[in-house]
Structure 1
Amino acid sequence: MGGHQGRQLASKWAKTATLLSHSSIAPHIPPTRKFTADNLKAMLDAHQMVVVKPVVGAGGHGVIKVAHDSKGYVYTYYSQTKRFASFGALIGALNKKRRGRSYLIQKGINLATVDGRPIDYRVKYVKTENGWVYRAIVGRIAKKGLFVTNLCRGGKLVSGAQGISRSLSPAQVTEKKRKMRELTVLSTGVLEAKYPGIGQLGFDYGIDKQGHIWIFEVNTRPQ
């Protein structure tokens, strides 16, 4: 047996809440709240830039970046940017996009970049009859003009080492990969204890411009 599908867990909120319960993992998860108008206002006041995304979804679909500046509010969806003079107008537009679906809000992270394009990382971890094993640690560079890095949205795949080397420095490759592996093992243990039967996980990591590692989400059906 080279790995198995295992239990599926679609809710990003459920997985995030589980990981936030662990004191060594929590500092690596961006502040996250359920989507409501009050929560969005509070998060924008605190962080100036957030990402709102469906609680259930994949492929970067429905992910919107929202920012607050002196001129009002702006949202970016794929390559489309819209500006709003008031918070009410922003909420109206976001609710139209959501179409009643549950969303969550996550603090926006200023990712390290390659040639000005954001990069994040996918770590694929699979359970086999001999225990959990790594299948991949890769970097995904966003298509020019986009903030989502998904390959189905034109993102470019590079090795994890190449991505860290080009966005931070070659000297940081070993340490950042070690830390991502450490967080992967720790997080898998926490998730498996709460949701027995999971068999494959795809961790989406980001590294910000200061070199801090963030866990954006964990997929139980990684592509």
Structure 2
Amino acid sequence: MGEHNGRLLANKWTKTTALLSHPSIAPHIPPTRRFTEQNLRSMLDMYHMVVMKPVVGAGGHGVMKVTRSGKGYAYTYYTQTKRFASFAALIGALNKQRKGRAYLIQKGIHLATVDGRPIDYRVKYVKTEKGWTIRAMVGRIARKGLFVTNICRGGSLVTAANGIGRSLSSAQVDEKKQKMRELTELSTNVLESKYPGFAQLGFDYGIDKQGRIWMFEVNTKPQ
């Protein structure tokens, strides 16, 4: 099966809910809800930092970090941060930015960093005549001043081993890579059982400062 053929499933909520149904995958997915004002308020009360992303989108487009500190609020979009004294003012600004698009809210994860810049990981999984195989496992270091790591936003590519070694320790490289492999295989089985026909999948993982692995999303048309 060719890499550029196969099923596409753009809706992040559909994929997330499918993966949350598996007890071994669910603990690795940050708490995620559909965007509503009430959901945003309650998640900011609980976590103080969340990430909002379009239900359909790629390349980091439209992704915003939203924070609450004391009685104030802020959101960051690319390099620009705007601050608000009230939740109502925050919502008004977010709704302008959303332009009517459906969004998800995900608990913000304090990622391990390389030279103070967040790093996450992309695992590209491809279906061949002999079955599924990992085509690439790379780290993506955010451009200075950004929280998104996408290469199209100026992020830097490193090997997964290099990224894990520099952000955590070289002693953890094999363990973290193996765990990402296991989660990738298991998640692919779950997604294929519900939505057969994929030819390639791109898994986005983060490892927090405590070394816990998080799965942020799965792309059916990975770059």
- Identify the TM-score tier after normalising by the shorter chain: over 0.9
Give the AA of the match of 1:134: I
Indicate if the aligned counterparts of 2:112 and 2:207 stay in contact, CA closer than 8 A. Answer: yes
- 1:38-57 matches, within 5 Å, as 38-57=38-57
* 1:71 to partner: Cα distance: 4.4
Report the equivalent of 1:198.
198
Alignment of 1:178-217 (within 5 A): 178-217=178-217
1:198 partner amino acid? F
Give the superposition deviation at 1:70: 1.1
Q: Root-mean-square deviation (CA), in Å?
A: 0.8
**Equivalent position amino acid for 1:202 in 2:** G
- Equivalent residues in 2 for 1:59-78 (5 A)? 59-78=59-78
CA deviation vs aligned residue, 1:139-180 (integer Å, no higher than 9, x gap): 000000000000000000000000000000000000000000
Shift of 1:5: 2.2
Tell me if structure 2 keeps the 8 A contact 1:4–1:127.
no
TM score, norm. by length of structure 1: 0.99
Q: Which moved more, 1:148-157 or 1:65-74?
A: 65-74
Q: Distance in 1 between matches of 2:179 and 2:11?
A: 25
1:145 maps to amino acid = G
| Structure-1 separation of matches of 2:97 and 2:53 | 11
Paired amino acid for 2:134: Y
- Tell me the amino acid that sits aligned with residue 193 of structure 2: A
Q: State the 4+ residue runs in structure 1 displaced beyond 2 angstroms.
A: 1-5
SS in 2 for 1:18: helix
Is 1:15 the counterpart of 2:4? The answer is no
Q: 1:35 touches 1:105 (CA, 8 Å); kept in 2?
A: yes
Instruction: State the distance in 2 between where 1:2 and 1:41 align.
Output: 44
Q: Which residue of 2 aligns with 1:86?
A: 86
Contact 1:2 1:129 in 2 (8 A): no
Contact map agreement 2:72 2:86 (CA 8 A) in 1: yes
Q: Tell me, what secondary structure is at the counterpart of 1:201?
A: strand
Residues 151-170 of structure 1 mapped to structure 2, 5 A cutoff: 151-170=151-170
* Percent identical: 77
Task: Give 1:96's aligned amino acid.
Answer: K
- Whether contact under 8 Å (1:30, 1:107) holds in the other structure is yes
Paired residues of 2:71 and 2:86 also in contact (CA < 8 A): no
Letter in 1 for 2:160: G
Match of 1:113 in 2: 113
- 2:95 corresponds in structure 1 to 95
The equivalences for 1:124-143 within 5 A come to 124-143=124-143
Which structure 2 residue ranges, 5 or more long, are not aligned? none
**Which amino acid in 2 is paired with 1:162?**
N
Question: 1:27 corresponds to which residue?
Answer: 27
- My pick for the range that moved more, 181-190 or 4-13, is 4-13
Task: List per-residue Cα deviations over 1:101-137 (Å, max 9, x = no partner).
Answer: 1000000000000000000000000001110011100
CA distance in 2, matches of 1:29, 1:2: 29
> How far has the Cα of 1:3 moved from its partner?
3.9
Count residues in correspondence: 223
Partner of 1:36: 36
Please state whether the residue corresponding to 1:92 is helix, strand or coil. helix
CA-CA distance at 1:87 after TM superposition: 0.2
C-alpha distance in 1 between matches for 2:74 and 2:116: 20
The answer for unaligned runs of 5 or more in structure 1 is none
Query: Which one-letter code corresponds to 1:187 in the other structure?
Result: S
CA drift at 1:184: 0.2
